[in-house]
Amino acid sequence: MARVRSVIGMGGGLHSVELVVDPRTVQAARPGRYVMLTVADGTDPFLARPYWVRRSSESTFHVLVKEVGRGGRWLARAGPGDAMWLFGPLGKELVTDPATRRLLLFGDLRALNLLLALSDEALRRGLEVAIVIEADESPVPATLLPAALELLPELDGEALRWADELYCAGEPVTVQKAQDVVRASGGRLPATALPHAPMACGVGACHGCVISTKRGSRLSCVDGPAFPLRELVWT
Amino acid sequence: MDVDLSVQIARDSDRPLRLRNPVMTAAGTFGYGLEYGRLLDLTRIGAIVTQSTTVEPRKGGPMPRWVETPSGLLSAASFQNPGIRRVLSSYAPRWAKLGTPVVVGIVGATLDDYVELAALLDEAEHVAGIELNLTGARAGEPTPLGGEPAVAGPITAAVRAATGLPLVVKLSPNVDNLPAVASSVEEAGADALSLVDTITGLVIDTATRRPALGSITGGVSGPAVRPLAVYKVWQVAQVVAVPVIGVGGITCADDALQFIMAGASAVQVGSSSFRRPTTVLEVAEGLAAWMRAHGVTGLDEIRGIALPLRIVPG
């Protein structure tokens, strides 16, 4: 169970929801892991939804909610004290290459919390971190971004030449764009992708989160959610 | 007060299936048991019914495969599974450690498929039963395999001949005369019936002006279908003598009680496991709590209590 501590509108339909949870859950919420959240009262919206988590204290973490769809609207309009069913964290922790000193992050608003959680960890370890955010509707509020995080305007050859490693995440169109840019630059930069896939269960039972790769179909929840960027194919 | 939640399926079989409680998982919602094994204590549930499995591996339908609907979802994973041989080599050895019976779901495109699946499972270890899925569509036909007694009966009989395992036959609500189909599969040797599978549905995405699912139609499941599922159990329980297992939108013990009072001997928790994996445990525990609170020591006291009274000539 999780309880809402606060919901802060970020503009552009984006809301930062801070949840109070068991400290053991927070401790396990490493970058790259997600939780499944659903309404505690009633059965509508019915399904749980996956959210990337970003820790904010020993007993709280944030999820970023876009006010889209019935579940997103419910979460965005939740108030302090509201209860939600939560299970997880699920997925696998992301670990950058030990040799990486310059980490480049690229993604859209759906993946922003994931990228910021990665950024928090990388900055804590003394890495230089830069980010490119695909945000069509409105700029990302500066309050969300750590001061040490460099915000770049575009994912291009210059950004790739600067970086030792790339993580990209978000809608398939976003990840595909990253793949095109990396290929155009020679494809040598180590790159990991976390493409969004619709998850109904988060544990491999519903077979709803299929990702196409060169080695065949994979389930994002149990085989991913991270995949080598070069392995992804688009159908 | 002690309460007895135990249920026996295939009582007269050489290999009866005894469940510690009447709460099972539904095929297609719990994988092969291992997926949720690290989240739940599976020794607290009655049985696991696995994903329906085919002879050869199956890739499954096109994406998107599900869309949320009011109090439920529309889904079409189209029986994606690794094939029976991989299931028996990779999953079955680990079923022994789960501490709960595993009933393997099977689905085929031909009669020979069903017989081959049954024969392989009959020889396998750690398999407690078979759930024969007759809910899939036949190629080019709008009605499911289990849509007509003349098809459902012979398939059941052939599977019955191929295995001594407890045989549960899963039926679709998308048929004209479910009681007639139920009677035919009982006569053909089914030890129990599970009903109902999902209800055929369609969601159109008004933004794209196209069906929301890659396979166009899908099956509706979840609490929205529960009244129909309870009705079908209530109908079929009046015409068969074998145990009926109720499936459809169970989210809590009270939902399960509806099915039991309508005549079900056991129930299956399906899509609620996606929403809250602990649902199957909560239903089992909730049933026990209800029985204690109402002075009911065994489920036989309330099974079918909502069925019409039968006047037996004296």
Residues of chain B where predicted confidence (pLDDT) is lower than 50: none
Question: Do residue A203 and residue B60 have CB atoms under 8 angstroms apart?
Answer: no
CA distance B81 to chain A (A): 9
Distance from CA of A175 to the nearest CA of B (A): 17
Which among B71, B77, B251 has CB closest to A206? B77
Cβ distance of B73 and A205 shorter than 8 Å: no
Whether residue B83 lies within 8 A of chain A, CB to CB, comes out as: no
Chain A residues with CB under 8 Å of B69 CB are 46
Tell me which residue in B59, B223, B274 faces A48 most closely, judged by beta carbons. B274
Among A50-59, A61-70, B101-110, B245-254, the minimum mean pLDDT is found in A61-70
pLDDT tens column, A165-199: 999 999 999 999 999 999 999 989 999 999 999 99
Looking up tokens 């395992």, which residue turns up? B165
Q: Do A44 and B70 touch (CB under 8 A)?
A: yes
Looking at chain A, the whole-number percentage of residues with pLDDT higher than 90 is 77
Interchain CB distance below 8 Å, B251 and A201: no
B-chain residues within 8 Å CB-CB of A198?
64-66
In this complex, is the C-beta atom of B259 within 8 Å of any C-beta atom belonging to chain A? no
Write down the pLDDT at residue B309. 80
What local confidence, expressed as pLDDT, does residue B314 receive?
57
Check pLDDT > 70 for residue A116.
Answer: yes
DSSP letters spanning B191-226: SEEEE---EEEE-EETTTTEESBTTBEEEEESGGGH
Instruction: State how far the Cα of A38 lies from the Cα of A71, in Å rounded to an integer.
Output: 8
Strand A102-108 with A128-134, pairing:
parallel
Q: Nearest by CB to B73, which of A47, A204, A210? A: A47
Please say whether the beta carbons of B78 and B133 come within 8 A: no
User: Which residue in B77, B251, B277 is closest to A208 by CB distance?
Assistant: B77
Q: Hey, are the CB atoms on A47 and B35 less than 8 Å from each other?
A: no
- Interface predicted TM-score (ipTM): 0.90
Helix (H) / strand (E) element for A74: namely helix A69-76
**Residues 18-47 in B contacting A (C-alpha not used; CB under 8 Å):** 29-31, 35-36, 39
Chain A residues within an 8 Å CB radius of B276 = 38, 48, 85, 87
Mutation target to probe the B interface, by most B beta carbons within 10 A, among A39, A44, A46 is: A46
Average pLDDT for residues A62-81, to the nearest whole number?
87
What pLDDT, on a 0 to 100 scale, did the predictor assign at position B184?
97
Q: Which of the pair, B310 or A148, is modelled with greater confidence?
A: A148
Subunit contact B39:A87, Cβ cutoff 8 A: yes
Average pLDDT score over residue span A69-86? 88
Substitution target in B68, B268, B269 with the highest count of A β-carbons within 10 Å is: B68
